[in-house]
Structures are given as C-alpha cells and as structure tokens.
C-alpha cells in the first residue's frame, strides 16, 4: 500500500523541483494553490500524481474480492449487531457563513463550532494575503 504513496510523493517532488527552477508557477486562488507549467519535469510530476490515484483505485478493486474471501452475502443471523445509534453531522460553508446539521443537537452544535473555526481560519488567511 506504500507504493502509490511513494509515486504521489515523487510527483510532488517533481512539481516542487519545477517550481524551484522557475519552470512552473504557483498562484493562490482563494485558499487553493494552483500550479501551472509547461516543462517536462512538471508533466512528469502531474503524470505521477494521476498514476498514483489510478494505482490506488486498481488496488482497491483487486483487493475487494480478496478481503472478503467469498462472494456470498451474510445472512441476518451472521451479520454483526449494531451496538448503538449512529450519529452524523456536517458543515457547509457558504462564503464565511457556516451551516451546520446533524442527527442530534449535540452533533449539530459540534459541527457549528467547527464551521465557525473554519470560517475564522479562512477569513484570517484571506486577510493576511490581501
């Protein structure tokens, strides 16, 4: 499982080397770094990153059948029993405004706190850059 990570890091190293030598550029769009370049080193780095994702997908597809051992679905008596209720939640940031949701008030409140923290970090990064 470490092979795709090594390929990904190799791609990042190639892109970093292209940026360091001036063969590629880095721009910041909102808070996302955008890399652009036309050199061979940048192309190799981009290809290695895409290849690492393809390797991960291929490994997941081939390991799926191996990990279960059989293709027969378990019956209701063999299925693991749930020990408790599952809680879920999430945050959507629309601009600097967090919208929190959750399966309970406690989870929604935690998501709201995380959303406010993300909005503060986003606003501070934008103020430092601008």
- Of 63 and 37, which is predicted with more confidence? 37
Q: How far apart are the first and last CA of the chain?
A: 41
Report residue 87's pLDDT band, with 50, 70 and 90 as the boundaries: confident
**Buried b / exposed e along 64-98 (16+ C-beta atoms within 10 A):** eeeeeeeeeeeeeeeeeeeeeeeeebebeeeeeeb
Tell me if 87 sits within 8 A of 66, measured CB to CB: no
Tokens of 36: 């652009």
Identify the pLDDT of residue 34: 85
User: Considering the entire predicted model, what is its pTM?
Assistant: 0.50
Tell me if 107 sits within 8 A of 85, measured CB to CB: no
User: What value does the mean pLDDT of the chain take?
Assistant: 84
**Domain locations in the chain as residue ranges:** 2-67, 89-129
- Of 56 and 65, which is predicted with more confidence? 56
What's the average model confidence in pLDDT over 17-41? 86
Per-residue pLDDT for 14 more than 60? Answer: yes
């Amino acid at each position: 499982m470490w092979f795709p990570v090594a390929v990904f890091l190799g791609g990042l190293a190639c892109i970093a080397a292209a940026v360091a030598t001036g063969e590629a550029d880095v721009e910041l769009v909102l808070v996302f770094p955008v890399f652009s370049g036309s050199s061979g080193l940048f192309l190799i780095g981009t290809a290695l990153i895409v290849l690492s994702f393809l390797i991960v997908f291929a490994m997941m597809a081939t390991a799926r059948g191996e990990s279960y051992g059989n293709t027969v679905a378990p019956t209701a008596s063999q299925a693991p029993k749930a020990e408790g209720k599952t809680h879920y939640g999430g945050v959507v940031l629309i601009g600097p405004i967090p919208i929190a949701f959750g399966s309970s008030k406690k989870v929604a409140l935690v998501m709201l706190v995380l959303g406010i923290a993300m909005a503060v970090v986003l606003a501070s990064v934008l103020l430092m850059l601008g």
